[in-house]
């Protein structure tokens, strides 16, 4: 099988990374790539690459000729674009936040915009591969997870689904600057970010909390997440340090067994051995998520460290993994 793939919004960091992954994917070929701001140019005009992919306007893209379309647009902008893709009868994998939250009112509360297509929300599947694999397989529309929530949800899912996670969760997260995109802003200016570390949107202010509540909330009554992202002076990678309480009766072995059971045979989950916390270098450049488990002296208190490459498992890599699931390909195709 050779999938014909369209990419809408190809010139941001996630779009560029997606093209790189698709070029290496043995069962995918790029049908077209769009960019409203750079239509008429080639990718090599925008990035230091020999890739001559021409960029076209979305209105000139032959939507129906694609088997699947990835959308790398900002939120809000993606709503109507996804609708156009679906109207053409083509599967859509949306990397924006627009189709992640099934409840339009929750979306509106966090993003401050009305959702114009609640009908499409109803069919969308949240594409957290290791958790929602079976629903993804038959989906027409996948809301690809956010970078931060992927670390938190994968890091705590085994505990949450077992019903042993207590409601108060503290997430101290650190992300490389590519997570803020290619748009120019002072906080991403080299001299400002280099040799620096900056907390931002700390408290209960960051939109990504909604996705954590989506996955973990149903299993943790009264879930209360404190989420503190920090801007880290690296290009890529997220490390989340999670401070949690669980049922104090669980032994270390029992906890490790929960993770082993949840992630048995998962090719992209790297459970670290006792004593080894996750670091960025465990995952940057790969589609993996690394998870380290550290018990504290007091029973029931744990630190879970989780890392991923924010542009791969946290965005474009997981999107390709979703495509592989959707089309029943070997899930690791294109990665190894």
For tokens 């791969």, the residue is: 312
DSSP string spanning 287-326? S-EEEEEEE-SSTTEEEEEEEE-TTIIIIIHHHHHHHHHH
Nearer to its own copies among residue 89 and residue 190 (C-beta): 190
Rounded to 5°, angle at Cα 312 from 310 and 313: 80
Binding to its own copies (CB under 8 A) within 204-223 occurs at 204
Asked if 233 contacts 195 with a C-beta cutoff of 8 angstroms, the reply is yes
Beta bridge partners of 306: 240, 291
Site string for its own copies, 39-78 (x = CB under 8 A): ---------xxx----------------------------
Rounded CA gap, 216 and 65, in Å? 38
Nearer to its own copies among residue 65 and residue 235 (C-beta): 235
Site string for its own copies, 135-174 (x = CB under 8 A): -----------------------------------x-x-x
Binding to its own copies (CB under 8 A) within 9-38 occurs at 13, 23-24
Q: Which of 44, 72, 129, 147 is catalytic?
A: 147
Nearer to its own copies among residue 194 and residue 328 (C-beta): 194
User: What beta strand segments (E) does 12-131 contain?
Assistant: 28-34, 55-56, 68-71, 91-94, 125-126
Contact call for residue 106 and its own copies (CB under 8 A):
no
Distances (CA, A) of 333 to 22, 24, 92, 323: 10, 9, 19, 10
Nearer to its own copies among residue 94 and residue 172 (C-beta): 172
Radius of gyration of the chain (CA): 19
| Annotation marks residue 72 as catalytic | no
Nearer to its own copies among residue 1 and residue 185 (C-beta): 185
**Beta strand 168-175 pairing with 238-245:** antiparallel
What stretch of H or E contains 243? strand 238-245
Minimal distance in Å, beta carbon 47 to its own copies? 8
- For its own copies, the binding residues (CB under 8 A) are 13, 23-24, 48-50, 170, 172, 174, 177-178, 182, 184-186, 188-200, 202-204, 224, 226, 228, 230, 232-237, 239, 241, 243, 270, 277-282, 284-285, 288, 290, 292, 294-298, 301, 303, 305, 336
Catalytic residues: 147
């Amino acid at each position: 099988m050779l999938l014909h793939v369209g990419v809408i919004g190809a010139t941001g960091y996630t779009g560029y990374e997606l093209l790189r992954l698709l070029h290496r994917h043995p069962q995918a070929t790029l049908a077209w790539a769009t960019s409203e701001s750079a239509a008429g140019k080639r990718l090599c005009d925008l990035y230091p690459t020999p890739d001559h992919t021409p960029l076209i306007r979305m209105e000139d893209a032959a939507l129906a000729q694609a088997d699947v379309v990835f959308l790398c647009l900002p939120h809000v902008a993606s709503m109507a674009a996804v609708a156009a893709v679906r109207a053409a009868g083509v599967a859509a994998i949306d990397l924006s936040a627009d189709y992640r939250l099934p409840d339009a009112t929750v979306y509106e509360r966090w993003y401050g915009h009305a959702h114009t297509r609640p009908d499409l929300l109803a069919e969308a599947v949240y594409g957290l591969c290791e958790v929602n694999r079976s629903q993804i397989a038959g989906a027409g529309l996948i809301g690809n997870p956010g970078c931060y929530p992927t670390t938190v949800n994968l890091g705590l899912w085994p505990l949450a689904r077992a019903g042993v996670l207590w409601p108060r969760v503290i997430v101290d997260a650190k992300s490389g600057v590519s997570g803020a995109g290619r748009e120019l802003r002072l906080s991403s200016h080299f001299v400002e970010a280099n040799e620096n570390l900056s907390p931002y949107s700390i408290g209960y202010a960051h939109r990504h909390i909604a996705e954590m509540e989506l996955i973990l909330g149903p299993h943790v009554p009264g879930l209360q997440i404190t989420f503190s992202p920090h801007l880290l002076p690296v290009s890529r990678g997220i490390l989340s340090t999670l401070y949690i309480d669980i049922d104090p009766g669980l032994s270390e072995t029992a906890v490790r067994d929960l993770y082993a059971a949840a992630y048995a045979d998962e090719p992209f989950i790297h459970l670290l051995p006792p004593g080894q916390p996750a670091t960025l270098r465990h995952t940057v450049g790969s589609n993996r998520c690394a998870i380290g488990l550290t018990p504290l002296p007091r029973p029931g208190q744990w630190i879970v460290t989780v890392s991923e490459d924010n542009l791969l498992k946290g965005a474009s890599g997981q999107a390709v993994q979703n495509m592989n699931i959707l089309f029943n390909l070997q899930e690791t195709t294109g990665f190894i």
